[in-house]
Amino acid sequence: MLEPLTSPIPTSLYPPTNPRNHHHNSPKLLIINRRNLLLGLGLGLGLALSTTTSTPSFPPHFNTPNADARGLFQMPPLRLNNRYFLVRAGESEYESLGIINTNPVTKTSVDNGLSEEGKRQTVRSAFSLKAMGACEGSCWIWPSITQRAYQAAEIIAAVNKVNHSNIVPEYSFLDARGLGVYEGKQLGYVAKVYALDSISPRNKPPPINDGTPNESVSDVFVRVTQLMSILETQYSGDTVIIVSPDSDNLTVLQAGLVGLDLRRHRDLSFSPGEVRFVDAESIPPYKQPVSGRYECLNPPSCN
Protein backbone atom coordinates (compact mmCIF):
# COMPACT_ATOMS: atom_id res chain seq x y z
CA MET A 1 0.00 0.00 0.00
CA LEU A 2 1.19 3.48 -0.83
CA GLU A 3 2.04 5.69 2.11
CA PRO A 4 0.00 8.93 2.26
CA LEU A 5 1.79 12.16 1.53
CA THR A 6 2.91 13.84 4.73
CA SER A 7 3.65 17.23 3.20
CA PRO A 8 1.15 19.44 1.44
CA ILE A 9 1.25 19.61 -2.34
CA PRO A 10 2.30 23.11 -3.42
CA THR A 11 -0.77 24.95 -4.55
CA SER A 12 1.35 26.76 -7.12
CA LEU A 13 1.26 23.58 -9.16
CA TYR A 14 -2.50 23.87 -9.60
CA PRO A 15 -4.69 26.55 -11.10
CA PRO A 16 -5.55 29.21 -8.52
CA THR A 17 -8.90 28.94 -6.78
CA ASN A 18 -11.00 31.68 -5.37
CA PRO A 19 -8.73 33.79 -3.12
CA ARG A 20 -11.56 34.08 -0.57
CA ASN A 21 -11.24 30.39 0.23
CA HIS A 22 -7.54 30.70 1.22
CA HIS A 23 -6.63 30.81 4.94
CA HIS A 24 -4.18 33.53 5.90
CA ASN A 25 -2.52 31.30 8.51
CA SER A 26 -1.78 28.38 6.11
CA PRO A 27 1.92 27.33 5.90
CA LYS A 28 4.04 29.09 3.25
CA LEU A 29 5.14 26.68 0.53
CA LEU A 30 8.41 27.06 -1.44
CA ILE A 31 7.67 27.59 -5.10
CA ILE A 32 9.91 25.29 -7.17
CA ASN A 33 11.21 27.44 -9.97
CA ARG A 34 14.51 27.71 -11.84
CA ARG A 35 15.89 30.44 -9.60
CA ASN A 36 15.31 28.56 -6.36
CA LEU A 37 16.63 25.31 -7.83
CA LEU A 38 19.91 26.89 -9.02
CA LEU A 39 20.31 28.68 -5.69
CA GLY A 40 19.96 25.40 -3.83
CA LEU A 41 22.43 23.61 -6.06
CA GLY A 42 24.95 26.42 -5.69
CA LEU A 43 24.78 26.32 -1.91
CA GLY A 44 25.17 22.54 -1.92
CA LEU A 45 28.17 22.69 -4.22
CA GLY A 46 29.83 25.36 -2.12
CA LEU A 47 29.37 23.27 1.00
CA ALA A 48 30.83 20.20 -0.71
CA LEU A 49 33.89 22.12 -1.94
CA SER A 50 34.52 23.59 1.49
CA THR A 51 34.78 20.11 3.01
CA THR A 52 37.25 18.66 0.51
CA THR A 53 41.00 19.11 0.14
CA SER A 54 42.30 21.55 -2.46
CA THR A 55 44.74 19.00 -3.93
CA PRO A 56 43.07 16.79 -6.56
CA SER A 57 43.89 13.11 -6.72
CA PHE A 58 44.68 11.53 -10.09
CA PRO A 59 44.65 7.92 -11.23
CA PRO A 60 48.00 6.13 -10.74
CA HIS A 61 48.89 6.21 -14.45
CA PHE A 62 49.13 10.00 -14.33
CA ASN A 63 51.91 9.85 -11.76
CA THR A 64 54.55 9.03 -14.37
CA PRO A 65 58.13 9.73 -13.24
CA ASN A 66 59.75 12.59 -15.14
CA ALA A 67 62.50 10.30 -16.39
CA ASP A 68 59.93 8.16 -18.23
CA ALA A 69 58.05 11.04 -19.83
CA ARG A 70 58.77 11.94 -23.44
CA GLY A 71 60.11 15.45 -23.67
CA LEU A 72 61.38 17.69 -26.40
CA PHE A 73 63.49 15.74 -28.90
CA GLN A 74 67.14 16.70 -28.73
CA MET A 75 70.17 15.91 -30.84
CA PRO A 76 71.96 13.63 -30.17
CA PRO A 77 68.95 11.84 -28.63
CA LEU A 78 69.06 10.14 -25.26
CA ARG A 79 67.42 7.13 -26.89
CA LEU A 80 65.28 6.21 -29.89
CA ASN A 81 61.84 4.67 -29.53
CA ASN A 82 61.81 3.26 -33.07
CA ARG A 83 64.04 1.65 -35.72
CA TYR A 84 64.95 3.97 -38.60
CA PHE A 85 66.17 3.43 -42.14
CA LEU A 86 67.34 6.41 -44.19
CA VAL A 87 66.85 6.27 -47.96
CA ARG A 88 67.81 8.77 -50.62
CA ALA A 89 65.49 8.61 -53.62
CA GLY A 90 66.99 7.55 -56.92
CA GLU A 91 68.22 10.00 -59.52
CA SER A 92 65.65 12.54 -60.74
CA GLU A 93 65.09 13.74 -64.29
CA TYR A 94 66.72 17.07 -63.40
CA GLU A 95 69.73 15.33 -61.85
CA SER A 96 70.13 13.18 -64.96
CA LEU A 97 70.52 16.45 -66.87
CA GLY A 98 73.01 17.77 -64.30
CA ILE A 99 70.68 20.60 -63.21
CA ILE A 100 70.03 21.83 -59.67
CA ASN A 101 66.30 21.92 -58.88
CA THR A 102 65.28 22.72 -55.30
CA ASN A 103 62.36 25.13 -55.70
CA PRO A 104 59.46 23.66 -53.67
CA VAL A 105 56.97 25.03 -56.21
CA THR A 106 58.07 22.34 -58.69
CA LYS A 107 58.51 19.48 -56.23
CA THR A 108 55.42 17.59 -57.45
CA SER A 109 56.24 18.17 -61.13
CA VAL A 110 56.70 15.15 -63.40
CA ASP A 111 60.15 16.52 -64.25
CA ASN A 112 61.03 16.06 -60.58
CA GLY A 113 60.24 12.36 -60.84
CA LEU A 114 62.66 9.46 -61.09
CA SER A 115 64.73 9.07 -64.23
CA GLU A 116 65.05 5.61 -65.76
CA GLU A 117 68.33 5.15 -63.91
CA GLY A 118 66.67 6.52 -60.77
CA LYS A 119 63.97 3.85 -60.99
CA ARG A 120 66.60 1.11 -61.21
CA GLN A 121 68.46 2.59 -58.24
CA THR A 122 65.24 2.69 -56.21
CA VAL A 123 64.36 -0.92 -57.03
CA ARG A 124 67.80 -1.93 -55.73
CA SER A 125 67.24 0.08 -52.55
CA ALA A 126 63.84 -1.58 -52.07
CA PHE A 127 65.39 -5.03 -52.26
CA SER A 128 68.18 -3.91 -49.92
CA LEU A 129 65.52 -2.98 -47.36
CA LYS A 130 63.89 -6.36 -47.86
CA ALA A 131 67.21 -8.15 -47.32
CA MET A 132 67.73 -6.12 -44.13
CA GLY A 133 64.31 -7.19 -42.84
CA ALA A 134 63.15 -3.60 -42.57
CA CYS A 135 59.46 -4.36 -43.05
CA GLU A 136 59.19 -7.79 -41.48
CA GLY A 137 55.91 -7.63 -39.64
CA SER A 138 55.18 -3.98 -40.42
CA CYS A 139 56.79 -0.65 -41.20
CA TRP A 140 55.89 2.96 -41.95
CA ILE A 141 57.29 4.79 -44.97
CA TRP A 142 57.69 8.56 -44.64
CA PRO A 143 58.64 10.13 -47.99
CA SER A 144 58.85 13.75 -48.97
CA ILE A 145 55.92 14.75 -51.16
CA THR A 146 58.55 15.61 -53.77
CA GLN A 147 57.76 13.51 -56.85
CA ARG A 148 60.88 11.33 -56.92
CA ALA A 149 60.75 10.60 -53.18
CA TYR A 150 57.09 9.61 -53.27
CA GLN A 151 57.68 7.43 -56.32
CA ALA A 152 60.53 5.77 -54.45
CA ALA A 153 58.21 5.14 -51.48
CA GLU A 154 55.68 3.41 -53.75
CA ILE A 155 58.39 1.15 -55.20
CA ILE A 156 59.67 0.31 -51.70
CA ALA A 157 56.11 -0.49 -50.57
CA ALA A 158 55.46 -2.74 -53.57
CA VAL A 159 58.68 -4.76 -53.18
CA ASN A 160 58.26 -5.13 -49.42
CA LYS A 161 54.50 -5.82 -49.59
CA VAL A 162 53.64 -2.81 -47.45
CA ASN A 163 50.05 -1.56 -47.49
CA HIS A 164 49.68 1.75 -49.31
CA SER A 165 48.02 3.22 -46.22
CA ASN A 166 51.39 2.89 -44.45
CA ILE A 167 52.92 5.51 -46.76
CA VAL A 168 52.75 8.84 -44.93
CA PRO A 169 53.68 11.79 -47.20
CA GLU A 170 55.66 14.57 -45.53
CA TYR A 171 54.83 18.01 -46.94
CA SER A 172 57.64 20.30 -45.78
CA PHE A 173 60.20 18.89 -43.32
CA LEU A 174 61.77 16.66 -45.99
CA ASP A 175 61.87 19.15 -48.87
CA ALA A 176 65.15 19.18 -50.77
CA ARG A 177 67.52 21.77 -49.32
CA GLY A 178 66.91 25.12 -51.03
CA LEU A 179 70.10 26.31 -52.78
CA GLY A 180 69.03 29.86 -53.58
CA VAL A 181 70.86 31.54 -56.44
CA TYR A 182 72.23 28.21 -57.67
CA GLU A 183 68.74 27.07 -58.70
CA GLY A 184 68.77 25.96 -62.34
CA LYS A 185 72.57 25.92 -62.54
CA GLN A 186 74.86 22.93 -63.10
CA LEU A 187 75.27 20.44 -60.23
CA GLY A 188 78.92 21.44 -59.93
CA TYR A 189 77.83 24.61 -58.11
CA VAL A 190 76.88 22.48 -55.09
CA ALA A 191 80.61 22.46 -54.23
CA LYS A 192 80.34 26.19 -53.49
CA VAL A 193 77.55 25.48 -51.01
CA TYR A 194 79.58 22.81 -49.25
CA ALA A 195 82.55 25.18 -49.01
CA LEU A 196 80.29 27.57 -47.07
CA ASP A 197 78.98 24.71 -44.92
CA SER A 198 82.50 23.79 -43.84
CA ILE A 199 82.98 27.27 -42.36
CA SER A 200 79.74 27.57 -40.41
CA PRO A 201 76.41 25.69 -40.31
CA ARG A 202 74.72 29.09 -40.37
CA ASN A 203 76.11 30.13 -43.75
CA LYS A 204 73.48 30.34 -46.48
CA PRO A 205 73.80 30.22 -50.26
CA PRO A 206 73.15 33.61 -51.89
CA PRO A 207 69.39 34.35 -52.18
CA ILE A 208 67.24 34.52 -55.30
CA ASN A 209 63.85 36.09 -55.92
CA ASP A 210 62.09 33.20 -57.68
CA GLY A 211 60.78 31.62 -54.48
CA THR A 212 63.63 29.14 -54.00
CA PRO A 213 64.77 29.12 -50.35
CA ASN A 214 68.45 29.63 -49.55
CA GLU A 215 68.91 27.29 -46.60
CA SER A 216 71.83 26.86 -44.26
CA VAL A 217 72.75 23.57 -42.61
CA SER A 218 71.18 24.94 -39.43
CA ASP A 219 67.90 25.51 -41.28
CA VAL A 220 67.89 21.90 -42.46
CA PHE A 221 68.82 20.74 -38.96
CA VAL A 222 65.73 22.46 -37.53
CA ARG A 223 63.50 20.74 -40.10
CA VAL A 224 64.83 17.22 -39.55
CA THR A 225 64.77 17.65 -35.77
CA GLN A 226 61.10 18.61 -36.00
CA LEU A 227 60.48 15.54 -38.14
CA MET A 228 62.16 13.24 -35.62
CA SER A 229 60.19 14.83 -32.79
CA ILE A 230 56.95 13.93 -34.62
CA LEU A 231 58.07 10.37 -35.37
CA GLU A 232 59.32 9.69 -31.85
CA THR A 233 56.04 10.98 -30.41
CA GLN A 234 53.69 9.31 -32.88
CA TYR A 235 55.28 5.83 -32.91
CA SER A 236 56.85 3.52 -30.37
CA GLY A 237 58.61 0.24 -31.14
CA ASP A 238 57.91 0.61 -34.87
CA THR A 239 60.09 0.70 -37.97
CA VAL A 240 60.13 3.94 -39.97
CA ILE A 241 61.70 4.37 -43.41
CA ILE A 242 62.53 8.01 -44.18
CA VAL A 243 62.76 8.77 -47.90
CA SER A 244 64.43 12.06 -48.85
CA PRO A 245 64.75 13.60 -52.32
CA ASP A 246 68.32 14.74 -51.62
CA SER A 247 71.38 13.86 -49.59
CA ASP A 248 71.59 16.90 -47.31
CA ASN A 249 68.45 16.13 -45.30
CA LEU A 250 69.84 12.71 -44.46
CA THR A 251 73.44 13.74 -43.81
CA VAL A 252 72.37 16.54 -41.46
CA LEU A 253 69.96 14.17 -39.70
CA GLN A 254 72.60 11.46 -39.30
CA ALA A 255 75.20 13.99 -38.12
CA GLY A 256 72.73 15.19 -35.50
CA LEU A 257 71.93 11.66 -34.35
CA VAL A 258 75.56 10.63 -33.86
CA GLY A 259 76.81 13.99 -32.57
CA LEU A 260 79.00 14.86 -35.54
CA ASP A 261 79.94 18.51 -36.11
CA LEU A 262 77.32 19.78 -38.58
CA ARG A 263 80.04 21.43 -40.64
CA ARG A 264 81.18 17.92 -41.56
CA HIS A 265 77.79 16.61 -42.65
CA ARG A 266 79.10 16.18 -46.20
CA ASP A 267 81.36 13.36 -44.93
CA LEU A 268 78.15 11.31 -44.63
CA SER A 269 76.92 11.94 -48.19
CA PHE A 270 74.26 9.60 -49.62
CA SER A 271 74.40 8.53 -53.25
CA PRO A 272 71.08 8.23 -55.16
CA GLY A 273 69.20 5.15 -53.98
CA GLU A 274 71.46 4.54 -50.96
CA VAL A 275 69.99 2.92 -47.84
CA ARG A 276 71.34 3.16 -44.28
CA PHE A 277 70.15 1.71 -41.00
CA VAL A 278 70.32 4.08 -38.03
CA ASP A 279 72.25 2.11 -35.45
CA ALA A 280 71.03 3.17 -32.01
CA GLU A 281 74.21 1.73 -30.49
CA SER A 282 76.25 4.39 -32.32
CA ILE A 283 74.33 7.23 -30.65
CA PRO A 284 76.52 8.66 -27.88
CA PRO A 285 75.40 10.05 -24.51
CA TYR A 286 74.01 13.55 -24.93
CA LYS A 287 76.74 16.14 -25.20
CA GLN A 288 77.63 19.16 -27.26
CA PRO A 289 79.26 17.87 -30.46
CA VAL A 290 82.99 18.55 -30.50
CA SER A 291 84.07 20.87 -33.29
CA GLY A 292 87.22 20.30 -35.30
CA ARG A 293 89.64 23.06 -36.31
CA TYR A 294 88.67 24.87 -39.47
CA GLU A 295 90.54 27.54 -41.31
CA CYS A 296 88.55 30.75 -41.65
CA LEU A 297 88.17 31.43 -45.36
CA ASN A 298 86.27 34.67 -45.01
CA PRO A 299 87.36 36.68 -41.94
CA PRO A 300 85.82 38.00 -39.82
CA SER A 301 82.81 35.79 -40.65
CA CYS A 302 84.24 32.77 -38.89
CA ASN A 303 81.30 31.58 -36.77
Give per-residue pLDDT as tens, 251-298.
999 999 998 999 999 999 999 999 999 987 776 654 444 444 444 455
Average pLDDT for residues 20-27, to the nearest whole number? Answer: 45
Distance of CA 295 to the CA centre of its chain: 36
First to last CA, the chain: 95
- H helix intervals, the chain: 34-50, 93-96, 116-131, 147-159, 190-197, 217-234, 248-258
Give residue-wise pLDDT tens across range 194-239: 999 999 999 999 999 999 999 999 999 999 999 999 999 999 999 9
- Tell me the CA distances in angstroms from 99 to 92, 102, 111, 112, 149, one per residue in order: 10, 10, 11, 11, 17
pTM of the model: 0.72
Q: Sign of torsion, CA 127 128 131 136?
A: negative
Helix-strand-coil split of the chain, %, nearest 5? 40, 10, 50
Cis peptide before 300 (omega within 30 of 0): yes
Q: What domains appear along the chain, each with residue ranges and CATH number? A: 83-282 (3.40.50.1240)
